Structure 1
Amino acid sequence: MPAASTSSSPAITSSLADQAKEAALAAYRGMWQDFVEAGYTSDWQSSKLGQYATGIALTNLSRGLYADHYNGLVTKGAPILNPAVSSADPLNAPKKIIITDCGDSSHWLKYRADNGQLADDKPGGRQLINAIVEKQSDGTWKVTDYGVHDVGTC
């Protein structure tokens, strides 16, 4: 009886790529979830912010929250996210994944911390978001940079 073929490298490669994409998407969602939680009190020093973000992304999250804290603002609600992987590099065993999203900030607005009044003069809406998510040396995936475009860009 001939030996069964044990060659499964295409399946393994595909599985590694799929796992990387799922991990990158989870990191992207986790970053925004932690940012939303920190935004309730504008906690720019939240230790959770570094859980799924690093580098420029972490700096931008912290700076945004610090600005809100300094200006007496908090954020209520949450964005609606619809992320998708737009590219993976290298394709078979990604270390860098680009995510494209059309986030909706209609129910994620800034309020005055002192009186609870709405501080946003714009109602929010659908915004194009691009993010770079990279595999870290410890094997975790973190958002390293992101850009949020103007309302109405998607």
Structure 2
Amino acid sequence: MAKSISTGIGQPALRTISAAAALAAATALLTGCGSGGAAKVDASPSPSVASSAPPSADPTAAASAAVLTAYRGMWAEEVKAFASGSLKDVNLEQYAGDKALADIKASAVYYQDNNQVFKGEPKLAPKVTAIDLSTTPNRATVEDCVDASNFLPVDKATGTPAKITDANRPYVQTSSVRIYAGRWVVMESTINRDKTC
């Protein structure tokens, strides 16, 4: 998400083309088991057994799931914007901020000005590669293999595919995510076309 944005297909401006995918990452829920039955009172005193509380969820795992939810949410809103050719009714600010938000909006304006919309959806495979819950704000890094071969710009009026200049192949996108206003927000995304995935 820097420089010119590209769908991995060669259009100037679609860097973080977010989303497509509007698929949120699933978190594992821990469930505790309770044992039923009435307690029997013993005539002779016996040592009391402290009830052990179920172990709390791993904070790193929970935070990583929330990071991926924010990342996929950004992509979902981005795809919505590019598919409709408008930023109206798109909630990008919920998931993207700073440079990531500015880049997506700039790309959306570029395609609007060229009367282009996107068809299809990108395929995503994001994973959290680093997370730091000891800093304020908390920070994380997401690395994704973005396949935009089925997420392509077309002429809004005719549906004619737009010409693309870049090799249309999967590319690696690295995103910086941090806590902002009490939630995880993608702040910047960069594309590394030299790295295959």
Q: TM-score range by the shorter chain?
A: 0.7 to 0.9
Between the aligned residues of both structures, percent identity stands at 28
Selected match of 1:141 from 184, 187, 194 = 184
Aligned to 2:85: 42
Greater strand proportion: 1
Greater helix proportion: 1
**Residue segments in structure 2 that go unaligned for 5+ positions in a row:** 1-46
- Write the distance in 1 (CA, Å) between the matches of 2:124 and 2:50: 45
Q: RMSD between aligned alpha carbons?
A: 2.7
Matches within 5 A, 1:47-62: 47-62=90-105
Q: CA-to-partner distance for each residue in 1:47-78, whole Å, 9 max, x for gaps?
A: 41112111111101100000000111111111
1:111 and 1:118 in contact (8 A); partners too: yes
Aligned to 2:130: 87
1:76 is the counterpart of 2:119: yes
1:125 is the counterpart of 2:155: no
Tell me the CA shift for residue 41 of structure 1: 2.1
Q: CA-to-partner distance for each residue in 1:128-150, whole Å, 9 max, x for gaps?
A: 0100111113x211101111233
**Radius of gyration: which is bigger?**
2
Tell me the CA shift for residue 7 of structure 1: 9.8
**Residue segments in structure 1 that go unaligned for 5+ positions in a row:** none
* SS of residue paired to 2:106: helix
Tell me the CA shift for residue 20 of structure 1: 0.8
- Write the distance in 1 (CA, Å) between the matches of 2:66 and 2:49: 36
Tell me the CA shift for residue 43 of structure 1: 1.3
Tell me the CA shift for residue 3 of structure 1: 7.0
Give 1:142's aligned amino acid: V
Aligned to 1:25: 68
Tell me the CA shift for residue 94 of structure 1: 7.9
Tell me the CA shift for residue 125 of structure 1: 2.1
- Write the distance in 2 (CA, Å) between the matches of 1:148 and 1:45: 26
Give 1:24's aligned amino acid: V
2:177 and 2:186 in contact (8 A); partners too: yes
